[in-house]
Structures are given as structure tokens and as C-alpha cells.
């Protein structure tokens, strides 16, 4: 005899897809098993048959077979006191701005957004360290090697709003990158298709003439010399590793990029990727800036990439608008 349990839809899940709500609240479940269980009425909404894509409403009652989720429920590992102290201290240092609905952090290089094999420290654990109810949600990603702006929603409703912003191109994200060699043109749109490489064991993307997804990047050179350039990059689309792939595609690789191209004609003891998520703009907010990391500033000074960024920032509102 199956053990049936009930789950009442909270307000935070109002208008969510049924399958996503189940995974967030009851635990992981294979999609094919989920759909089979729905067809066989092992999962019901208000006692009626439902589909995985159905939009649910607050106060509805989900009746489900508890054994479907038992083995796959997400279990968080305990964060040690030392690591907790590290995260709380880091949070104070990298917090840029927050309100009741969201947090904006200045993520350092070499800290992954999500945990996983070989990821000793990550933003997911940091969020668990500062949140008592684990409701904070990442609304986008940054590569481990990339520094800069990272947005976290404090509740599911705000997370959904950010999903809509991204979907409807209501987010403007601007990056700074040090590239080599300098581009011939000071302004350029870079377009290609980007797909996952089938010839690499690591997660690597490549450009393609026919396959993959369309990608478009705006590049503007801010200052340059004979070897390097400081470029402002605007990813108009949001493909995996788009900026790194596109810079390599046009022959102006980002300094410190070991995955796509290692520039061997420079000296940098720290060897960090010189790609920084610098500015973000979303509805009802002005442009928000993440200060450059020290290694980035030092490289600019050492290689005489002199520029007054504050003057450039004043032109953002005129130049960059929603698509």
C-alpha cells in the first residue's frame, strides 16, 4: 500500500510549473518517472489528474506517493564553523547592494557559484551561511574564473521576476576584459552560433556555422597599446562562455583564459582571468557597478592601460538601452 502525503502550495509557488515546484519542495525526481506518476495518478492536484507543465496556484493541495521522492531528496552537507566564519567575513567584503528582495555581490575570481567536485568554497554555501531558510536563489551564473556582479533573489517571487527580465531582454550586463592582441576596430558586433564541443572531455564551447545557438556580442575598445586593450563587452545574447569564445573567435583572447586560449606573451604572477562583470541594469534600478579586483587594476597599471572609468560610466545610460 502506497504512503500518500499532502503538500499545500505556498504563495511563493503561485503560478509555478508543477514539475519545478515538486523538485524545489519535495526533492529530485526523474522527468520520465514524474510524468509516468502523473499519468498513473500517483501525484494529484486537489484530487485530480495533472500534467508536469500545469501552472499551479497557492493553497492547492498536492497529494503524492512519498516513495517517489524519498531517495532523491536534496541533503545539504553541514558547514563547519571555520568555513561559516569565512563565508560571513567574505559576504561583508563583497556585498555591493541589497534590499528586501535581492542581493548584489562582487564575486571574486576562483570561487565557484555552485558546489561540486573539487569546489572547496562556493557561493551556494555562502548563501546558506547568511540565510536561515535557504530561500535565496541564484538568478544567473558566472564562471569560477570570472569576477564581478552576481545577483541573488531573496525569494521565489523575485527569482521569477528576474527570469522574466532575462527572457524579455530587460537586463543589461556589461563586462570589462583585457584582451591581446588589440582589435583593429574600436567598435564591433561579433556574431556566430555557439555549440558544445564534442571533441573535449571538459565543458567547452565552440563557434559553428550551422549548429548550436545564435550568439551576439558588442565589443568596444576603451584604451589600447601595442600589446593589450581594455575592452567593454556587452553580451546581447547569453550563451555559455560566450565572451571567452567570441574573443578567441576574433583573435583577441582574454588574458588568463586557460580554457580557450592561454596568452603566453605576458607576465602575471596571479594568472587570473581578466574578465570582470562590471555593471548591471534592470528595471527600476540605475546602473550598479562592481569595483575591479586588485589584480585587474595592477595589470592595467603595469601595462599602461590608463583610463578614467568614471567618465566612461557617465555615458552608459545614453549608449546602452533595453533591446
Q: Which of 43, 70, 97 is the last residue of a domain?
A: 70
Q: What is the reported pLDDT for 96?
A: 97
For residue 230, the enclosing domain spans 171-319
Q: What is the reported pLDDT for 117?
A: 54
Are 56 and 113 contained in the same domain? Answer: no
Q: Tens-of-pLDDT digits for all 323 residues of the chain?
A: 566 888 888 766 777 889 888 887 887 788 888 888 999 999 999 999 999 989 898 888 999 887 887 544 455 567 888 999 999 999 999 999 999 999 999 999 999 987 665 668 889 889 988 886 667 888 898 999 999 999 999 988 898 899 899 989 999 999 999 999 999 999 999 999 999 887 766 678 899 888 899 999 999 999 999 999 999 999 999 998 999 999 999 999 999 998 887 666 565 656 899 999 999 999 999 999 999 999 999 999 999 999 988 888 877 878 888 76
Q: Is the peptide bond before 181 cis (omega within 30 degrees of 0)?
A: yes
Which residues lie below 8 Å from residue 56, measured CB to CB, with a gap of 6+?
A: 9, 13, 14, 15, 16, 17, 18, 21, 45, 62
Which residues lie below 8 Å from residue 137, measured CB to CB, with a gap of 6+?
A: 152, 153, 154, 155, 156, 158, 159
Question: Which residues does residue 207 pair with via DSSP β-bridges, in sequence order?
Answer: 194
Are 153 and 197 contained in the same domain? Answer: no
Q: 290: number of CA atoms within 13 Å, CB side?
A: 30
Q: Which of 164, 180, 201 is the last residue of a domain?
A: 164
Q: Which of 45, 70, 95 is the last residue of a domain?
A: 70
Given the residues 124, 143, 145, 257, the one annotated as active site: 143
* pTM across the whole model: 0.78
Are 94 and 179 contained in the same domain? Answer: no
Distance CA 243, CA 248 (A): 9
Are 208 and 180 contained in the same domain? Answer: yes
143 noted as active-site residue: yes
Q: Which CATH number characterizes residue 302's domain?
A: 3.30.2350.10
Q: What is the reported pLDDT for 281?
A: 95
Are 295 and 155 contained in the same domain? Answer: no
Amino acid at each position: 500500500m502506497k504512503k500518500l502525503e499532502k503538500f499545500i502550495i505556498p504563495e511563493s509557488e503561485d503560478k509555478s510549473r508543477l514539475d519545478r515546484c515538486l523538485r524545489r519542495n519535495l526533492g529530485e525526481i526523474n522527468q520520465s518517472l514524474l510524468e509516468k506518476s502523473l499519468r498513473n495518478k500517483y501525484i494529484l492536484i486537489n484530487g485530480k489528474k495533472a500534467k508536469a507543465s500545469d501552472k499551479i496556484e497557492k493553497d492547492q493541495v498536492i497529494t503524492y506517493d512519498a516513495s517517489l521522492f524519498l531517495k532523491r531528496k536534496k541533503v545539504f552537507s553541514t558547514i563547519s564553523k571555520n568555513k561559516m566564519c569565512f563565508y560571513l567575513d567574505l559576504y561583508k567584503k563583497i556585498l555591493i547592494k541589497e534590499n528586501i528582495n535581492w542581493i548584489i555581490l562582487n564575486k571574486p575570481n576562483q570561487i565557484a557559484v555552485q558546489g561540486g567536485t573539487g569546489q572547496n568554497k562556493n557561493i551556494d554555501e555562502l548563501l546558506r551561511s547568511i540565510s536561515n531558510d535557504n530561500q535565496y536563489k541564484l538568478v544567473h551564473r558566472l564562471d569560477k574564473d570570472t569576477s564581478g556582479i552576481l545577483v541573488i533573489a531573496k525569494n521565489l517571487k523575485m527569482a521569477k521576476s528576474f527570469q522574466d527580465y532575462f527572457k524579455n531582454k530587460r537586463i543589461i550586463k556589461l563586462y570589462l576584459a583585457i584582451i591581446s592582441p588589440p582589435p583593429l576596430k574600436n567598435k564591433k558586433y561579433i556574431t556566430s552560433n555557439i555549440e558544445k564541443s564534442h571533441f573535449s572531455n571538459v565543458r567547452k564551447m565552440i563557434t559553428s556555422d550551422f549548429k548550436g545557438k545564435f550568439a551576439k556580442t558588442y565589443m568596444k575598445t576603451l584604451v589600447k597599446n601595442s600589446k593589450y586593450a581594455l575592452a567593454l563587452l556587452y553580451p546581447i545574447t547569453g550563451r555559455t562562455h560566450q565572451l571567452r569564445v567570441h574573443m578567441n573567435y576574433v583573435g583577441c583572447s582574454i588574458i588568463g583564459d586557460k580554457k580557450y586560449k592561454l596568452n603566453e606573451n605576458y607576465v602575471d604572477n596571479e594568472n587570473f582571468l581578466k574578465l570582470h562583470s562590471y555593471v548591471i541594469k534592470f528595471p527600476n534600478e540605475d546602473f550598479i557597478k562592481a569595483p575591479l579586483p586588485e589584480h585587474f587594476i595592477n595589470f592595467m597599471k603595469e601595462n599602461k592601460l590608463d583610463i578614467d572609468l568614471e567618465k566612461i560610466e557617465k555615458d552608459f545610460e545614453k549608449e546602452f538601452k533595453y533591446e
